[in-house]
């Protein structure tokens, strides 16, 4: 796009600390206010990033995601994620190594693996729901995190039950420690002088890293013969330079696949459930569709392709509540132009997915939750971007969507599952993701309910 100006787009005048706090507390509200005020291009100033140019029109988004890596850097623009995923994962790297990891991992999420993933999701959801409390409110998010982690450890580690549970426990403890505001947003202290949250983070990371290194050592000595074992596949991988993967790189790849995979599906699913359960007509219609398709039989993977309304509800929830509302890049040199502005080197530019999803020209009545809009249309290019786009688009997008649908279907078959509050709540920033502030608090009201794969009687936990 030809540049017509040589300055940054306008933006709020509040100091960087004020803008940062507002974004941290309620990202959706801040983005909505600035998009209403400034339109499809504006500049925020956030701690740790400086000037951040937000773009939400389709042409501008295309220019960003299509820019070559020597123009816009994606990995280094997300250096804040190093605290969780390290510096060697495909989320935080740029260049040939990142491209190799992407090519290596993409087949693991191919469409041919979707049915297996859905079957694991149905089984894990059914087993988990049997242990949930009855007749008292509880946050859904930690329960969903347990389910999604179970799916990934079973699919990719091929470990026995005790080993999988151990990995899950350590992974959850590490993610929780890493997401503490001080730990995530402030520089790390040296391990010898780390105190408070930094000390807890260091210990949680050390325990997880030790576990993963021991798992890698076991696979080196006794390779897994089962297809789909990620560790064995990585140890046998042929890299472009011919060198084997070192333990640090193995660790970062495993944490991305297991940790990022579990978190993204968990928080997306939490927003889906809030949106659906907060709209009684939507929940009733989705449940009626499920009853018609299953005809009283246990829910199975063969039923899932015949749920167009549920699929539309999931799609609409991801439009209104994208967990990664901004996808940043770092401008490496002068001359990159977007939305009529020529950006200087060193600033950040981001796909504003939240704004793109709420443009009235693409979505009439854009703030309304209306799944019906997806029953007879597909999104125009670069108007629906919850998984990013271009060469850095989420490699597991299709796999994740189908896992989301399977778990959502299982949950909605429990017709007495309901939100404690009658409306979708605000979001808050957790790491680089926007999550429901209260953790999607729900309740069951009966002891016998239809769950993931049929009838079961839950154990009351009080």
- pLDDT tens-digit map of 93-134: 999 989 999 999 999 898 888 999 999 999 999 999 999 998
Q: pLDDT band for position 244 (50/70/90)?
A: confident
Q: pLDDT band for position 454 (50/70/90)?
A: very low
Q: Report the pLDDT value the prediction gives residue 446, as an integer from 0 to 100.
A: 60
Specify if 286 maps to a domain.
Answer: yes
Query: Residue 214 pLDDT more than 90?
Result: yes
pLDDT digits 0-9 by tens, 301-352? 999 999 999 999 999 999 999 999 999 999 998 889 999 999 999 999 999 9
CATH number of the domain at 413, please: 1.10.630.10
Specify if 263 maps to a domain.
Answer: yes
Mean pLDDT in the chain?
91
Calpha distance 34→48 (Å, rounded): 20
Specify if 180 maps to a domain.
Answer: no
Specify if 232 maps to a domain.
Answer: yes
Rounded to an integer, the average pLDDT of 277-285 is 97
Q: pLDDT band for position 193 (50/70/90)?
A: low
Q: Is the dihedral of CA 332, 335, 336, 339 positive or negative?
A: positive
Calpha distance 382→388 (Å, rounded): 9
Calpha distance 364→357 (Å, rounded): 11
Domain hosting 259: range is 81-158+224-318+377-456
Q: pLDDT band for position 6 (50/70/90)?
A: low
Calpha distance 215→224 (Å, rounded): 11
DSSP 5: B
Query: Residue 438: what are its φ and ψ, rounded to 5°?
Result: -100, 0
Specify if 136 maps to a domain.
Answer: yes
Specify if 359 maps to a domain.
Answer: no
Neighbours of 234 (CB within 10 A): 20
Query: Residue 160 pLDDT more than 60?
Result: yes
pLDDT digits 0-9 by tens, 411-450? 999 999 999 998 999 999 999 999 999 999 999 876 444 4
Answer whether 32's CB lies under 8 Å from 354's CB.
yes
Residue 40: alpha-carbon gap to chain centroid: 24
Nearest alpha carbon to residue 52 among 326, 323, 321? 326
Domain total in the chain: 1
Nearest alpha carbon to residue 454 among 338, 230, 299? 299
Calpha distance 454→60 (Å, rounded): 47
Rounded to an integer, the average pLDDT of 63-92 is 93
Rounded to an integer, the average pLDDT of 13-27 is 95
pLDDT digits 0-9 by tens, 338-386? 999 999 999 999 999 999 999 999 999 999 999 999 998 889 999 999 9
Calpha distance 103→44 (Å, rounded): 34
Task: Point out the least confidently predicted range of 21-35, 166-180, 219-233, 365-379.
Answer: 219-233
Query: What single string gives the DSSP state of each residue in 69-137?
Result: TTTEESTGGGGGGHHHH-SSSTTT--SHHHHHHHHHHGGGGSGGGHHHHHHHHHHHHHHHHTTS-SSS-
Residues 6+ apart with CB under 8 A from 144: 265, 266, 269, 270, 407
Q: Report the pLDDT value the prediction gives residue 452, as an integer from 0 to 100.
A: 40
Rounded to an integer, the average pLDDT of 36-53 is 95
Nearest alpha carbon to residue 86 among 250, 225, 277? 250
Task: Point out the least confidently predicted range of 84-98, 164-178, 233-247.
Answer: 233-247
Specify if 102 maps to a domain.
Answer: yes
pTM: 0.93
Q: Which helix (H) or strand (E) holds 66?
A: helix 58-66
Query: Residue 4: what are its φ and ψ, rounded to 5°?
Result: -115, -10
Rounded to an integer, the average pLDDT of 212-229 is 86
Answer whether 267's CB lies under 8 Å from 323's CB.
yes
Calpha distance 81→179 (Å, rounded): 10
Residue 460: alpha-carbon gap to chain centroid: 31
Q: pLDDT band for position 225 (50/70/90)?
A: confident
Specify if 181 maps to a domain.
Answer: no
């Amino acid at each position: 796009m030809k540049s017509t100006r040589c300055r940054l787009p306008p933006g709020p005048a509040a100091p960087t600390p004020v803008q940062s706090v507002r974004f941290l507390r309620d990202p959706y509200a801040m983005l909505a206010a600035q998009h209403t005020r400034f339109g499809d291009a504006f500049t925020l100033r956030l701690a740790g990033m400086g000037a951040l140019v937000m773009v939400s029109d389709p042409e501008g988004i295309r220019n960003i995601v299509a820019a070559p890596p020597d123009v816009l850097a994606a990995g280094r623009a997300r250096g804040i994620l190093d605290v969780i995923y390290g510096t060697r994962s495909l989320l935080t790297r740029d260049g040939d190594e990142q491209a190799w990891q992407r090519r290596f991992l993409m087949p693991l999420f191919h469409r041919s693996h979707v049915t297996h993933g859905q079957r694991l999701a149905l089984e894990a959801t059914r087993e988990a729901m049997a242990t949930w409390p009855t007749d008292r409110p509880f946050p859904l998010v930690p329960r969903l995190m347990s389910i999604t982690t179970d799916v990934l450890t079973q699919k990719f580690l091929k470990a026995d039950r005790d080993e999988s549970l151990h990995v899950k426990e350590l992974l959850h403890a590490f993610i929780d420690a890493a997401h503490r505001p001080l730990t995530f947003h402030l520089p790390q202290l040296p391990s010898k002088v780390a105190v408070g949250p930094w000390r807890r983070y260091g210990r949680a990371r050390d325990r997880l890293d030790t576990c993963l290194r021991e798992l890698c050592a076991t696979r080196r000595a006794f390779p897994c013969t089962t297809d789909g074992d990620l560790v064995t596949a990585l140890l046998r991988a042929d890299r472009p330079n011919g060198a084997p993967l070192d333990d640090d790189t193995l660790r970062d790849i495993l944490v991305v696949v297991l940790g990022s995979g579990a978190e993204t599906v968990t928080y997306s699913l939490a927003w889906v459930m809030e949106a659906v359960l907060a709209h009684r007509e939507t929940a009733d219609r989705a449940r009626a569709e499920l009853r018609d398709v299953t005809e009283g039989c246990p829910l199975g993977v063969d039923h899932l392709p015949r749920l167009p309304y549920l699929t539309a509800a999931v799609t609409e929830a991801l439009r209104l509540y994208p967990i990664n509302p901004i996808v940043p890049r770092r401008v490496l040199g002068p001359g990159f132009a977007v939305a009529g502005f020529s950006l200087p080197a060193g600033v950040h530019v981001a796909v504003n997915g939240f704004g793109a999803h709420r443009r009235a020209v693409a979505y009439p009545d854009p703030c309304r939750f209306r799944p019906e809009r997806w029953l007879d249309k597909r999104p125009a290019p670069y108007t629906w971007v919850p998984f990013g786009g271009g060469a850095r688009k989420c490699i597991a997008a299709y796999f994740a969507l189908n896992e989301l649908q399977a778990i959502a279907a299982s949950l909605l078959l429990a017709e007495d599952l309901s939100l404690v509050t009658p409306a979708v709540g605000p979001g808050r920033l957790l790491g680089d993701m926007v999550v429901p502030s209260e953790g999607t608090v729900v309740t069951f009201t009966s002891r016998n309910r239809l769950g993931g794969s049929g009838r079961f009687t839950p154990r009351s936990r009080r």
